[in-house]
Amino acid sequence: MDLHMTDLERDIIREILNIGLARAADSFAAIAQEKVLLEVPSLELVRGRDILELVRKYQAGHVGIQSDIKGDFNGTTLMFFSGQHVQRLSRVCLRQNVAETVELNEMQESLLLEISNIITGALVTQLANILKAKIYGAPPTAPKGDITRALDNLLVSHPLMQPLIFSVITQFSDQNSNVELPLMLFFDRETFAKVLTIIRTYDLSGGK
């Protein structure tokens, strides 16, 4: 299976992601009671170890929530909540006035897990509908310690997997400031091949 993408195929996949992420952004905006701006996702084939370095960078100042994608596709989503997110969401959803911190109490961790579940669910549902695939998001987890250990099997250990990373940054914004909410989505090599196969069945000639 040729994993090389043409420019048109790349644009199609990015647009499919945009549709799914727009639904996810709407879900987040409803929870947070804030306006959410969404950047166009980048789309790259990168080595697993390079992804792990990026994850470590985000993990240094954020709370990471992981949700695996299962079914016809095999992948993982990671959401990274900053101290500002924790503070704002605690105020809006829990009616708690807390300091800006990534040290979570039990209720805050449950809240972030539920938010990640809703956002990942919205994204996965849209992707399943568009790509006609049977996929679902597994219950999210808040990995303790180094998140990259939990990702090692998907990104590094499996010799046949060349991961595809969808790098997505959403902005959780209000009238006073913008706070980036990194959302990373990656699939393994086999899943990427399936997505390309689906894309290549489309009539890209406009019926000519």
The per-residue pLDDT for range 80-131, each reduced to its tens digit, is: 999 988 998 898 888 889 889 888 999 999 999 999 999 899 989 999 999 9
Question: What confidence score (pLDDT) does residue 110 get?
Answer: 94
Measured between alpha carbons, how far is 106 from 133 in angstroms, rounded to an integer?
Answer: 35
Residue 47 has pLDDT above 70, yes or no: no
Residue 59 has pLDDT above 80, yes or no: yes
Give the tens place of pLDDT for each residue, 144-197: 777 777 676 656 555 444 555 655 666 665 555 667 788 888 887 788 888 888
* pTM value > 0.85: no
Question: What confidence score (pLDDT) does residue 148 get?
Answer: 74
Measured between alpha carbons, how far is 52 from 128 in angstroms, rounded to an integer?
Answer: 27
